[in-house]
Amino acid sequence: MMRILRPFVVVLAGLALAAAGTGSAGAANGTFAWVGPQGRTYSIQNPPDNKCYDLGQEARGAHNATRQPVVVYSQKRCKGASTRLASGQAAPGRARFASVIFNPH
């Protein structure tokens, strides 16, 4: 009986570790959008949690349509003045930003 249970316990332990790993590497499900050069709209789909993104071009009018909060920053590397946007919230259309982090810890 012990020999039969041992592989079953190993499989359950592996599944538990895999489930725990997916929770920490989650994503802010949904879309984050902003207005870039020449008034074009840009977006990121399902961005990973707690990762800072620098925008290489003009960015303004952030709109958080993800399920998690985001923080936009006035400077690159998620530094400078910050604005937190809850799920479904948008920044004013003229509000510029240079970097963003999704579901910050």
Residue-wise pLDDT for 63-86, tens only, equals: 999 999 999 999 999 999 999 999
Write down the H helix ranges in 1-105: 2-24
| Architecture of the CATH domain 26-102 | Sandwich (2.60)
Is residue 4 scored above 70 in pLDDT?
Answer: no
pTM equals 0.73
pLDDT digits (tens, 9 = 90+) for 30-43: 999 999 999 999 99
CB 103 within 8 A of CB 69: yes
The count of C-alpha atoms lying within 13 angstroms of the C-alpha of 20, restricted to the half-sphere facing its C-beta, is: 6
Closest CA to 28 of 45, 53, 10, 41: 45
| Strand, coil or helix: 78 | helix
